[in-house]
A and B are shown apart, each in its own frame.
Chain A
Amino acid sequence: MSAKPWSFALASLGVVILSIIAPFVTANENALDPNLAKNGSVIRYLFTDVTLDACRSTVRILGDGDEIAFGTVIDANGSIITKASELRGQIVCRLKDGRDLPAHVIAEYQPYDLALLQVDAADLTPVKWAAGDDPPVGRWAVTPGLHGAPLAVGIISVPRRAIPVEKAVLGVSIRDTTRGPIVKGVIAESGADKAGIEAGDRILTVAGKQIYSSEHLVEVVRGYEPGTLVKVVYERDTEEIEIEVTLGAPIPSLLHPNSNDDQIARELSRRRADFPAVLQHDSVLQPENCGGPLIDIKGRVIGLNIARAGRTGCYAIPAGEMPGIIAELKKASHAKVSTGVRE
């Protein structure tokens, strides 16, 4: 019987050792230590002090106990803004000091997909939005968590621009290959499915436009309203086939034809288009990590992360837009409260 604790100890030791050596076994010995990669722990650790102020104004948003977003504190009296389209279930704000406070949605601002939450607190640290111009491309763009090293570090990738509406979908997932975009899967009951498009078909043109990549396909298709009939030319077994497809409305769970694989598709935000102005940065955030502040190397809050938009980047609302947006949210909340509508 005395062998039992021993075997347990050995087994747990084994697990610990395996988890430690796993990176060493699978990695090329000449390759860079993953901890030293751009988003490795060593590099992110260097930003810890920079994030301290912003951490105090960051909250974790839980929906029915799951982490669904970050939130940004905008005043001491319990006003918190977050990404509206990620909210679901019983909303709780988890503060840096460990408190879990139930939250009510008291207003929404559709153009930027923001929600205003109210929690019962009077001692919160509001965020200070950076004044002045947008940061230029190349500046550090850091996403703090609640504690310690930031979640992700990157740089500003694209200056401020508007992101057009994502209007219609074809209903296919695409794999980009050196031969062009190949259909990887067809969403059941979608326009593509009804028209007979199958996995393995190579999309040549949509609505007369040559299609170069999965993202290009999305760009072309989104120029149309759902319900539009468009001509699609595809290649199957070296034969070119022309058909007409009725474009559909985006279905959130199936919406990601511009992804390179299903795993990445699941990692994109549900709402990631139709914003009046965003900065793009090259951090790779999970959807549940949007909604909090984005800071620069001086710790100034340069924006609010609003979407993981694609494989390579995220969108943030520029700090300069925030005072106006917050004013809109507060106005909407007063209107609601005064008519007795809450939650």
Chain B
Amino acid sequence: MAKLFRIFDPNRGHFILASSLTIIFGLFLVVQKNWETSALSPHSQPSTAKIPSSRLDQDSRNTKPVAVKQSTESKTVSDVSPTENGTPPQKLDTSTSTNHQAGSPFVSDEVSSVAFQRRDDAFDDDVPATADDLQTMEDFIVEQVPIALASTVAIRASYIQGSGVIVSDDGFVLTAAHVAVKAGQKLDVILSDQREVAGETIFLDSFLDIAIVKLDGPGPWPASPIADNVKLAPGVWCLATGHSGGYFKERPAVVRLGRLIDIKDDYLESDCPLVGGDSGGPLFDMHGRVVGIHSRIGPTVSRNFHAPVVQFKKRWEEIVKTDREPPTQPDSASPPEVVRSPASEPKKPRALLGLFAEDIVRGCRVTEVLANQPADIGGVQLDDVILKIDQTTIINFSHLRELIRKKEPGEKVVLTIERNEQLIEEEVVLGSLETSS
């Protein structure tokens, strides 16, 4: 991104200097890369270590619901119910000695066993490096798929249809904020075994685009753990599941493979192909841990954006802890009394920019400028592309709104705008949004 802007930099001298350096560095990288690639296959170590674990039957389409039960020592996967064809429940003991707290779906990345170290290696930056690695990956993926699918749900709310993922066996579901609509929203949640369950949005973070939905009923629900303390890096392999294009009874959630392309504090980018309907669905790492929530489709099929669940951990703990405390009466059919959302914070006059915009690849394009409101007065025009506010890069329109919300009425902000292929800056004095109504 920084380099992209450099192209627009009027200071041509720097640009030429920078680009000639880039040329030299680029050539160096290309030469080095080619050299490495050709050296890669013969010299890399063959993956000889065998995986000492029983696997879920790879043979048939084993997408029956499975529950992930967590203990402090290990996680065990077993069939909740016997499958129709009478297959006996299979157990998969991955014994990853995951270090996680009881009652929390977060699992940390401590992996002690040497054998599992090898399995991790199959998903490092530099691998797969051989066809053997590809086979190891496949074994791993086929094993993860039934568990990933069991926890993936479809979510319906008013005009929106999306996906979600159950992350605790007592029925907490993560989805995208734009799927969960608003705090207190009643939703229909369709499980992987086609059960329809009522749910309610109990929390939204529209900045990260993550929401928590609570399923109605005691469970236990088939859940996948949330990744905690996991070091994400570009190149990490991941699986995406979700109800692409909406829920269809005859089709389970669609599974896709990809790699993390880029990691930012507020979003992950991957090349897992996504489409409408996938929103809110989970992005798993190769250990079946939820690392992201599908948020936005990118400019090309191989660029898509996910909300980073790892960033969400702190808030998760606050919310879920307080929500778990009330069930002193075991069958709490009544919804949680306190709905926590940014909207329920104490009211104060909110800052107003006075425009509407649609999300595009970078930033957002202004679709409407309210007459005589701050943006209009400050010189913002229709079709301007807002890239930054006070040097903070805008991801989308809701991000812009979130940033404005943090400002005070009367505050001065600088918008970086692309207009007619030129970068300009407009200074806008924020107005006040009447919230008393």
> Nearest-CB distance from B90 to chain A (Å)?
14
User: A138 at interface (Cβ–Cβ under 8 A)?
Assistant: yes
Chain A residues with CB below 8 A from B246, complex form: 212-213, 215-216, 219
Contact A219 to B131, CB < 8 A, known contacts A155-B256, A211-B159, A311-B273: no
Contact residue among A30, A46, A157, A179 (Cβ-Cβ distance under 8 Å from B134)? A46
> Nearest-CB distance from A174 to chain B (Å)?
9
Chain B CB within 10 Å, residue with most, of A25, A26, A161, A310: A25
Q: Are A24 and B22 in contact (CB under 8 A)?
A: yes
User: A131 at interface (Cβ–Cβ under 8 A)?
Assistant: no
Contact residue among A33, A136, A160 (Cβ-Cβ distance under 8 Å from B145)? A136
Nearest opposing residue in chain A for B134, CB measure = A297
User: A306 at interface (Cβ–Cβ under 8 A)?
Assistant: no
Contact A310 to B245, CB < 8 A, known contacts A32-B259, A157-B255, A284-B302: yes
Number of chain A interface residues as a range: 35 or more
> Nearest-CB distance from A217 to chain B (Å)?
9
Contact A138 to B26, CB < 8 A, known contacts A30-B234, A50-B131, A213-B277: no
Q: In residues 119-164 of chain B, which contact A (Cβ within 8 Å)?
A: 125, 128-131, 133-135, 138, 141-145, 149, 156, 158-161
Using a Cβ–Cβ cut-off of 8 Å, how many residues does chain B contribute to the interface with A? 78
Contact A213 to B245, CB < 8 A, known contacts A133-B60, A177-B358: yes
Contact residue among A24, A49, A176 (Cβ-Cβ distance under 8 Å from B26)? A24
Q: In residues 333-364 of chain B, which contact A (Cβ within 8 Å)?
A: 358-359
Q: Are B58 and A136 in contact (CB under 8 A)?
A: yes
Contact A216 to B235, CB < 8 A, known contacts A31-B261, A139-B138, A154-B257: no
User: A36 at interface (Cβ–Cβ under 8 A)?
Assistant: yes
Q: Are B4 and A26 in contact (CB under 8 A)?
A: yes
Interface stretch, picked from B29-37, B46-54, B193-201, B402-410, is: B29-37
Would you mind naming 25 contact pairs between A and B with Cβ atoms under 8 Å apart? A20-B26, A24-B29, A25-B3, A25-B4, A37-B261, A38-B258, A39-B302, A46-B130, A136-B58, A137-B142, A138-B255, A155-B255, A158-B251, A159-B63, A162-B250, A177-B358, A177-B359, A178-B398, A212-B277, A213-B277, A215-B276, A310-B245, A312-B301, A313-B254, A313-B256
Point out residues on A near B: beta carbons under 8 Å: 17, 20-21, 24-33, 35-39, 42-43, 45-47, 49-50, 133-134, 136-140, 154-162, 176-180, 204, 210-216, 218-219, 258, 260, 264, 280, 282, 284, 297, 310-313
